[in-house]
Amino acid sequence: MPPRHDAPQLRIDPLTGRPVSVAASRWDRPTDLADGNHFAAGGVCPFCPGQEEATPPASLVTSGDHGWQVRIVANKYPAFVPLDGPSPPTTTTEEQAAPPAAGLHEVVIETPRHVESFSELTSDEAIAALLAYRQRLRQLAADGRWKYAVLFKNVGVQAGASLMHAHSQIVALPEAPPEVAATDAAARRFHQRHGQTFWQAERLREASTRVRMVRETSHFAAWCPYASRHPYEVLILPKDSGPSFANADDNALADCAGLLQWLVRRLESMAPNVSYNWIVRTCPLTDGPHDHYDWHVELLPRLTRFAGYELATGGAINPLSPEAAARRYREEAGSAASS
């Protein structure tokens, strides 16, 4: 077994510059997995009411009718450590000593009820989860230590979830990762050339052709992207351009929560027991203005696995065209409405 360090290390690939957090403690994190593909039944859930001492202290708690509604706690098995956290031992090989993998890694416990998917939350619970996202993102921006934050959700074994209880995660970093910075730079160039954001240009194109559009609400458009990497992948974009999720208003977030639940329910109807991720992408916390950016959500079903080609090239092979995926979402919505 490889040597263990208490604190994650940040190692940078010397050729590509790709960052890797070597977080050995995560190997021992608790899991609901019975094997590599299925969750086990029973057991004590550290995210349920009455088990609060099983998690680190909360950084944010919102109240519900019968106690807490949402709890945000430090990840007990983090991939990153705070800037003032412990340093790993000095490397004694010929390799350059790796610095700590600096960052903040938190878990958003979205409901006190022991349910797994976002689709199982009540409407009020779903809205409360997104409002808590926004509140914590504002706090991180005010903190001053962090330049970038990402919110993401893993549901199901194939999406990387280890516990069933509905939750998501927040990672805040002192610098934007290279891939994020490259996307931001490309978005800035697009905005300078065209006078609008890339995402709003895409929304208008998709709204005009309708072939990949899945659903529109008063505040959002949801479509299967032209170059989708995953079957049934969906991008959710506010119709009113805005760079930061932290600035979204209550009505927009309520609409977003409802749209996410609608999409996940359609997805789960088409592919029962599907694993999925979503990512809330928002502009950097500092170095504004960010008029070239639009916050958005990516829903990424995990129906296929990245294999040799994907790992070798960084590309993707999608066996379901986004046009067919969007049509199936729409057909499933029609079937649900008529039943």
Q: Which of 139, 173, 207 is the last residue of a domain?
A: 173
CA distances from 95 to 5, 128, 274 (A): 16, 47, 42
Lowest mean pLDDT among 38-52, 56-70, 89-103, 323-337: 89-103
Domain assignment present for 37: no
Domain assignment present for 266: yes
CA distances from 190 to 222, 236, 243, 293, 294 (A): 21, 20, 15, 10, 12
Domain assignment present for 276: yes
Task: Examine the domain organization and report whether 116 and 64 are in the same domain.
Answer: yes
Task: Examine the domain organization and report whether 100 and 197 are in the same domain.
Answer: no
Task: Examine the domain organization and report whether 333 and 240 are in the same domain.
Answer: yes
Please report, for the domain that includes residue 278, its CATH number: 3.30.428.10
Task: Examine the domain organization and report whether 153 and 186 are in the same domain.
Answer: no
Domain assignment present for 36: no
Using DSSP's 3-state secondary structure scheme, residue 285 falls into coil
Task: Examine the domain organization and report whether 99 and 234 are in the same domain.
Answer: no
* Cis ω before 243 (30° cut-off from 0): no
Q: What pLDDT does 222 receive?
A: 99
pLDDT confidence band for 133 (50 / 70 / 90): very high
pLDDT confidence band for 225 (50 / 70 / 90): very high
Domain assignment present for 20: yes
Task: Examine the domain organization and report whether 207 and 252 are in the same domain.
Answer: yes
Domain assignment present for 101: yes
Residue-wise pLDDT tens digits, 55-79: 999 999 999 888 999 999 999 989 9
- The residue whose two tokens read 């829903």 is 299
Task: Please give the residue range of the domain that contains residue 244.
Answer: 179-338
**How many structural domains comprise the chain?**
2
Q: Which of 143, 173, 203 is the last residue of a domain?
A: 173
| pTM: predicted TM-score of the whole model, two decimal places | 0.89
Domain assignment present for 34: no
Domain assignment present for 3: no
Share of the chain above pLDDT 70, in %: 88
Q: Which of 124, 149, 173 is the last residue of a domain?
A: 173
Q: Return d(Cα 64, Cα 125) in angstroms, integer.
A: 9
Task: Examine the domain organization and report whether 285 and 191 are in the same domain.
Answer: yes
